[in-house]
Amino acid sequence: MIFDDEPVPGFSLPILPGHVSPGRLERILRAGHFAVTAEIAPPDSADPGEVYARASVFDGTVDAINATDGSGANCHMSSVGVCSLLTRQGYAVVMQVSCRDKNRIAIQGDVLGAAAMGVANVLCLTGDGVQAGDHPQSKPVFDLDCMSLLELIRTMRDESRFQSG
């Protein structure tokens, strides 16, 4: 620990009045503490046990777990699915969203679904080119770039509306 009053990773914190969300990561950052996250690559299967095994390596060590979104342009379980599973197990999560594979309609749907499952943190990324991955014949979408993705999600959060166009 860096400071004596710093929260211990892996332990639940009480919900504080006046906070936008009860999220552990938000509370750590708002308190001015140094937050530590780790990234896990989702499995190539639908087995929740594989997700839990990958996350449990970081128990008591990190403040949140990032779930990648098709990293390396390879097919894996979705970051929405991973974050939903981990949220139900009490982990603080960061859902990575890549611009490569989805248009704005699909991304907004994923963000809504993730929010409904308790996911409160998003990391916006451009995404790796499909030629680098295990499906090089796939067509990249890139309807949005990273900055427009940030604006889209901010608009959904702050103005409760979708971007269309």
% of residues, the chain, pLDDT over 90: 57
The model carries a pTM of 0.81
Asked if residue 29 lies in contact with residue 3, where contact means CB atoms within 8 angstroms, the answer is no
160: left (phi over 0), alpha (psi -120 to 50) or beta: left
What values do phi and psi take at 95, rounded to 5? -85, 120
80-131 pLDDT per residue, tens: 999 999 999 989 999 999 998 899 999 999 999 999 888 989 999 988 777 7
Asked if residue 3 lies in contact with residue 28, where contact means CB atoms within 8 angstroms, the answer is no
Handedness of CA 106, 110, 111, 112 (dihedral sign): positive
Looking at residue 18, what is its pLDDT?
Answer: 54
Quote the CA–CA distance of 114 and 131 in Å, as a whole number.
Answer: 28
The pair of structure tokens assigned to 100 is 């490569």
Residue 6's pLDDT band, with cuts at 50, 70 and 90, is very low
20-68 pLDDT per residue, tens: 556 778 888 888 999 999 999 999 999 999 999 999 999 989 999 999 9
CATH number given to 24-159: 3.20.20.220
